[in-house]
Amino acid sequence: MEFQEETQKKMNAEKQKWFELLVVIVAGMLKFVFMDWLDMRAFYIVGMCLFWSGYILFRYSKDHEILKHWGYKKKNFRKSMTILLPFIVISIIFILGYGILKGAVLLNWHILPVILLYPAWGLIQQFMMVNLIADNVQSIRFFKLSKFQIILITSLIFGLVHHPHLSLMMFTFVMEVLFLFVFFRWRNLWALGLAHGWIATFLLYYALNRDLWIELFAWF
């Protein structure tokens, strides 16, 4: 009886992971519709943040250990940031240098609210990438992929989501490779969300010449 219950529990957990994979793929496809085609950035970003926050709370109500497994914890935050901080600093320096060469406006108050708010969106994106894709694929028996293969495939997916900007696709691919190595080593999601938010803010403002504050509310 105990063996049957344990087997059933494992089957249910695997079904849950397949469901999460399917939903996150749909969410990625909707990005091209709402953000790239309809230019409804605020609608998509707020919608995704609310949806996945609700899902996280729902899973937590069923399993109080799930947040620790997903990396929503203080443990290893400092270790993760120690590895990520040099990448953050170097990336921002190069981005600012590129922006100066291209004549970007460096002083813009719009960057202040974005650099405070964007980590929340970065956290949701990394939750989808490292937990719902990479971590689920690693634990689903069907795939039988090595951790290195999972890191490359997940990073490639993250890069493709940023189509059609080739430079952005290449950068996000490299960034996600580093993020996944750090996550699989220390499993702290807060560090990834902060790093993602800070880098993305400077990258889009000064390398791609995009004002996220205006874009966010353009549809309204």
- Dihedral angle of Cα 25, 117, 71, 132, to the nearest 10 degrees: 0
pTM: 0.91
Q: Is 190 within 8 Å of 72 (Cβ atoms)?
A: yes
Q: What is the pLDDT of residue 2?
A: 58
Q: How does residue 1 score in pLDDT terms, banded at 50, 70 and 90?
A: low
Angle 189-202/166-186 helices, nearest 10 degrees?
A: 160
Distance of CA 165 to the CA centre of its chain: 18
Buried b (16+ CB within 10 A) or exposed e, 65-92: eeeeebbbeeebbeebbebbeebbeebb
Distance of CA 80 to the CA centre of its chain: 15
CB under 8 Å to 3, separation ≥6 — which residues?
none
**CA–CA dist 105, 124 (Å, integer):** 29
Q: What is the pLDDT of residue 41?
A: 83
Q: How does residue 116 score in pLDDT terms, banded at 50, 70 and 90?
A: very high
Pinpoint the alpha helices (H) of the chain: 2-31, 41-62, 66-70, 77-101, 111-126, 136-139, 147-161, 166-186, 189-202, 212-218
Arithmetic mean of pLDDT, 112-136 = 95
**CA–CA dist 204, 98 (Å, integer):** 12
Angle 147-161/166-186 helices, nearest 10 degrees?
A: 140
Q: Which residue has the higher pLDDT, 42 or 24?
A: 24
Q: What is the pLDDT of residue 52?
A: 97
Q: What is the pLDDT of residue 87?
A: 97
Arithmetic mean of pLDDT, 96-103 = 86
